[in-house]
Chain A
Amino acid sequence: MIIAKNIYKSFGKVSVLNGISCEIKKGEKVVIIGPSGSGKSTFLRCMNLLETPTNGEIWFDDKLINEVDPYLHDDLIEKSNTCKKLIQSNIDTESALLKIKEEKLLKKYEGKEFRLAVKEFTKANHIDINFARRKVGMVFQHFNLFNNLTVLQNLTLAPVQLKIKTKEQAEEKAMALLKRIGLEEKANAYPSTLSGGQKQRIAIIRALAMEPDVMLFDEPTSALDPEMVGEVLELMKDLANEGMTMVVVTHEMGFAKEVASRILFMDGGVIKEENSPKEFFSNPKDLRLKEFLSKVL
């Protein structure tokens, strides 16, 4: 469903992601854990292009959502002037490709043939990010409910603006979702009047109102008072049980153990370890992970 290929991301000179590849399959619940500053949020935000990767590709449902990364495509590199020159100087194609990838030799302009090939590849595979985002729900640490809109308007804004639903249909769906979380009476309230737990549950159903194929959660319970964590985790577990594909960055180890089909451990902008919850917690291999687990468990 989502495939990340060799993702790099730097902010100015600071490199935060250093080559991350992973695939999220339909129905999977992938939990990402790792120390603060390891790049978890950045990686999650790359998945819906709230951050643009510096290198690498993000594919959603077999469609490319960011720019082509030519280093991932040998057939593209072969069309570059640099590669042609190398081959002319009696290097075989294979070593030429390797050299170009290793030393990042591609320049801005690599000849007409290369440019056309990239263009063609883009045309065949790329989709507009705004389109992809409709199917990728996101839940933020700080809820980010629209302050100028009521709860109901928060839930209907996107489906109506994007002409996915009529106002009536959207409101009907919104009320059904509110009923599901027991907050129908808050339909006309403004976000500022809600508790943190209520806000986050509404943020979750705001994403659900778009009927997404996958949901991304960035520490959804970290900004909540302890007594409200439960209600949000319950809702997330319900979603998981219904078969929603989920990627969750969290520090809630209990949730990870119970819900995850796979856990990724990130450190220093790479995935250090990846395993089923059972193996992950009972038999960690990476040294940093062992250290991390000993602190949080």
Chain B
Amino acid sequence: MSIWELFVKSFVEDGGYKEVLRGLAVTLVTAICALIIGIILGTIVAFTQIAKGKGPILRFFKGFFKVYVSIFRGTPIAVQLLFIYFVIFPAIGLGLMKAEIVGLIIFGLNSGAYVSEIMRGGILSVDKGQSEAGRALGLNNTQTMLKIVVPQAVKNVIPTIGNEFISLLKETSVLSFIGVMDLTKAFREIGSANYEYTIPYLILAISYLVLVFIASGIVKLIERRMRASDNR
């Protein structure tokens, strides 16, 4: 059998495509959920970091988040997966949690660290005069943030958030470190069925390329929409 025939056999006849589809779903779901967790978490962290005030609670959270961001930005995601899944979760009694869920949480935490920096930059990039004008009209800090600063910040960060999503898509390929059947692992299984990896890994690479291509297209579309909506 040629390597192509070998691939077709394990992909179609032995049902490998089912694994691949499931793996694709896991990859996409992990990336999307991680981004959502990341945006929520990152926004909370960013607002805490730029909040003014000297209260002990605020100071505690500022310190806590600073440590969180340094750890998650300062270590490789693969190490985070291994350490949290095999060491921390069992230690706190969560050793039986499904690897897919743990992976998703860890990617969310990881993304939150990066998004917090993006959001902070986005908020700080809005001209100070914008919030001053809001405050001078009598709006309080929250109203000024929600109605004036955040909408402009979000617009500024959309391209960067898009890049973050593309990174996430690719980085999820290390999920197999904790045994999750993602796109990468699905193709590896097909390859190892008859020790022939050329075609599976080629298609794997192409699949990521296509995913990234589609994701970039969507980001560009959103950007263009936002620009058209207020033709600045």
List which A153-181 residues lie within 8 A (CB) of chain B: 157-158, 161-162
Most buried by B among A142, A146, A150: A146
B138 in contact with A142 (CB, 8 Å): no
Any chain A CB within 8 A of the CB of B105? no
Q: Are A130 and B138 in contact (CB under 8 A)?
A: yes
Tell me if A262 counts as interface (CB < 8 A to partner B): no
Please tell me if the beta carbons of A147 and B152 are within 8 angstroms of each other in the complex: yes
Contacts of A140 in B (CB 8 A): 129, 132-133
Stretch at the interface among B13-21, B140-148, B159-167: B140-148
B95 / chain A contacts, CB cutoff of 8 Å: none
Which residues in A have their C-beta under 8 angstroms from that of B138?
A: 130-131, 133-134, 158, 162, 210
Give bound CA distance, A113 to B37, whole Å.
Answer: 51
- A90 sits at the interface (CB 8 A): no
Count chain B residues whose beta carbon lies closer than 8 angstroms to a beta carbon of A. Answer: 21
* Contact, CB under 8 Å: A146 / B231: no
Q: Counting CB contacts under 8 A, is B136 at the interface? A: yes
Interface residues in B115-159 by Cβ distance below 8 A to A read 127, 129-130, 132-140, 143, 147-148, 151-152, 155
Assess whether A294 is interfacial by the CB under 8 Å rule. no
> Do A147 and B133 form a contact, CB below 8 Å, given A130-B140, A134-B138, A162-B139?
no
Closest CB of chain A to B69's CB: distance in Å? Answer: 28
B230: CB under 8 A from chain A?
yes
Contact A148 B152 (CB under 8 A): yes
Chain B min CB distance to A150 (Å): 8
User: A281 at interface (Cβ–Cβ under 8 A)?
Assistant: no
Give A190 to B230 CA distance when docked, in angstroms.
7
Interface assignment of A256: CB less than 8 Å from any CB of chain B: no
A147 near B137 with CB under 8 A, answer no
The interface residues of chain A lying within 8 Å CB-to-CB of B139 are 130, 157-158, 161-162
Residues of A within 8 A of B155 (CB): 148
Contact of B137 among A142, A148, A193, A207 (CB under 8 A): A207
Name the contact of B130 in the complex, choosing from A131, A144, A162, A192 (C-beta under 8 A). A144
Query: A157 to chain B: which residues have CB within 8 Å?
Result: 134, 137, 139, 147-148
Report B60-80 CB contacts with A as 1/0, cut-off 8 Å. Answer: 000000000000000000000
Measured between alpha carbons, how far is A130 from B134 in the docked complex, in Å?
11
B143 contacts across to A, CB distance below 8 A: 161
Binary contact readout A131-142 vs B (1 if CB under 8 angstroms, 0 otherwise): 101101110101
CB-CB < 8 A to A50: which residues of B?
Answer: 132, 135-136
Q: CB of B232 within 8 A of chain A?
A: yes
Structural contact, A192 and B232, CB atoms closer than 8 A: yes
Q: Which residue of B lies closest to A132 (CB)?
A: B138
Please indicate the chain B residues that have their CB under 8 angstroms from the CB of A148 in the complex: 148, 151-152, 155, 230
A147 touches B130 (CB 8 A): yes
| A157-B147, A161-B143 known; A147 vs B232 contact (CB < 8 Å) | yes
Q: Please tell me if A40 contacts chain B, counting CB pairs below 8 Å.
A: no
Q: Which residues of B contact A142 (CB under 8 A)?
A: 129
Residues of chain B within 8 A (CB-CB) of A161 are: 139, 143, 147
- Return the chain A residue nearest B131 by Cβ: A144
Q: Mark A204-234, 1 if CB is under 8 A from B, else 0.
A: 0011001000000000000000000000000
Cross-chain pairs A/B with CB under 8 angstroms, 23 sampled: A50-B135, A130-B138, A133-B136, A136-B136, A140-B133, A142-B129, A144-B129, A144-B132, A145-B133, A146-B130, A146-B133, A146-B148, A147-B152, A147-B232, A157-B148, A158-B134, A158-B138, A161-B143, A162-B139, A190-B232, A192-B232, A207-B137, A210-B137
Seed contacts A148-B151, A157-B134; 20 additional CB < 8 Å A-B pairs: A130-B140, A133-B136, A133-B137, A133-B138, A134-B137, A137-B136, A140-B129, A140-B132, A140-B133, A144-B129, A144-B130, A146-B148, A148-B155, A157-B137, A158-B139, A161-B139, A161-B147, A190-B230, A192-B232, A203-B133
B-to-A contact residues, CB < 8 Å:
127, 129-130, 132-140, 143, 147-148, 151-152, 155, 230-232
The 3 A-B pairs with the shortest beta carbon distances in the complex, nearest first, are: A144-B133, A134-B138, A158-B137
